[in-house]
Amino acid sequence: MAGWTKAAAAMWAGAALLGTALPAAPPAAPVTAPADGHGAYATQTYRNLFTEQLGHSQAESRAKIEHAFRQFFHGDGQEQRVYFETGANAKGPLAYITDWANNDARSEGMSYGMMIAVQLDKKREFDALWNWSKTYMLTTDPKNPSIGYFAWSMGTDGTPRATGAAPDGEEYYAMALYFAAHRWGNGKGIYNYQAEADTILRGMRHHPTLTATPPFRIHPSDPPFVEPATPWPSPNNRAAQAEAEKAGKPWPPVRPARVPRPVTVGPMVDEASAMVRFVPETSIGGTDASYHLPAFYELWARWGPAEDRAFWARAARVSRDFFVQVADAKTGLAPDRSHFDGRPMPGWDGEPGSFAYDSWRTASNWSVDHAWWGKDPRQQALSDRIQGFLHGQGIKTFADRYTLDGKPLSTRHSAGMVAATAVGGFAATPGPVSKAFLQELWDMPVPAGEQRYFDGMLYLMSLMHCAGEFRIIAPRSQG
């Protein structure tokens, strides 16, 4: 927030609360537009990997995508669907995407659902998810230092499970809203998609640094949120319950009471390194490679608030270097969390620099960047490395968590990880290994049951990517 005064920071917080326009940041010096690269942005051609390597037609690919969309958004409520409509308010229909196993709605999943909807031209579903996000998840209490951010986890009844934010949700919200502005045009209020996206991006970089002591509220009229000693026991998480019982551990798990301490929240990006932070709480450092989205940053360097475009162009370059830095030289596996200098940080499982659930997305992120922009030839080696390692572990059986040097940390084989790694085919050398991942994705049944949320969202978005149906939706004047 360089150059902003305390008065400007106070104006920002007040504007976020009232839903008014944010004060403009200090004008930046004119910058040269970034180069367009050699990918789909420049060529307007989107590769269908299923056609190239498996011989399936575009019509077959679209039919498979539409089938998966119907199941996840309008299928059986107990075993298939993750999208649920919950009535309406004065702004229109309301709906959430749920992590079924944990019985909550997450900014990650809500923004993924919006991205899927705008890509597939499903405006009702898009607007309903955005309305629920703004109604329940947007922090508007000025005493909460996360004001202006979206709470990362909410109960499906609209009550909080957390009062802090996670940048991956904000990133996908912003990108989906820009695409919506270009696909459908801007409406009024919360449906002025362009203005809403600009507000999110300004907040990510220019959020004032605020300190307060919990308990916090999401909205001023809410009761204070106090994290319970035992997390909410989801009736859907049968596998976790059985695992705990088998190990003789209590269910739900008990957390020791924590003495409230002051919390300081600032921007979602680290200005010095030009990297997205793991969380905006300043006491929790580092970044998450799976949050790095250079394919999106390039678009924000063209479409985002003018004063921040040079920053996002730099962030795209930094993220490409960071992928090379953090991916293991032999396995291609990247850690869930890292210091800004690339050194791995311990994950939540206590393992030093483990490849875990967030990490599944990293190969997809660099490969989509390769498909859209074609600016970094090093991404071919990255994809070859991770696909080659996992293929060698057994493509139908490889674990979903590893140490970075390749020691399995689980026995579960996860559909979402297979799907995200298949997207690596955009950067990988075409051949038997890349083809094997695409075949696995094509043959995979649509994820259903208890774990259908994360597996399913990654499955559907990966299917769209590999079919060439996840595209840059440009302003109409851009063609």
User: Rounded CA gap, 12 and 339, in Å?
Assistant: 29
Q: Is 425 exposed, middle or buried (0-12, 13-18, 19+ CB in 10 A)?
A: buried
| 477 to 144, 165, 183, 196, 357: CA distances (angstroms) | 40, 35, 12, 20, 39
Contacts of 214 (CB under 8 A, 6+ apart): 163, 224, 225, 260, 263
Token pair 């208890």: residue: 450
User: Rounded CA gap, 226 and 232, in Å?
Assistant: 12
Greatest extent of the chain over all pairs of C-alpha atoms, in Å: 63
The catalytic residue among 196, 358, 376, 469 is 358
What 8-state DSSP symbol labels residue 395?
Answer: T
User: Rounded CA gap, 64 and 49, in Å?
Assistant: 14
Q: Please give the helix or strand (H or E) that residue 206 lies within, else none.
A: helix 193-206
Name the β-bridge partners of 264. Answer: 211
Contacts of 90 (CB under 8 A, 6+ apart): none
- The verdict on whether 336 is a catalytic residue reads no
The catalytic residue among 99, 104, 108, 469 is 108
41 within 8 A of 373, measured Cβ to Cβ: yes
Position 441, amino acid: L
273 within 8 A of 292, measured Cβ to Cβ: no
Q: How far is CA 389 from the centre of its chain?
A: 25
Q: Degrees (nearest 5) of the Cα angle 352, 358, 363?
A: 100
Contacts of 188 (CB under 8 A, 6+ apart): none
Helix (H, G, I), strand (E, B) or coil at 13: helix
- The verdict on whether 443 is a catalytic residue reads no
CA dihedral sign, ordered 48, 380, 370, 419:
positive
Catalytic residues: 108, 358
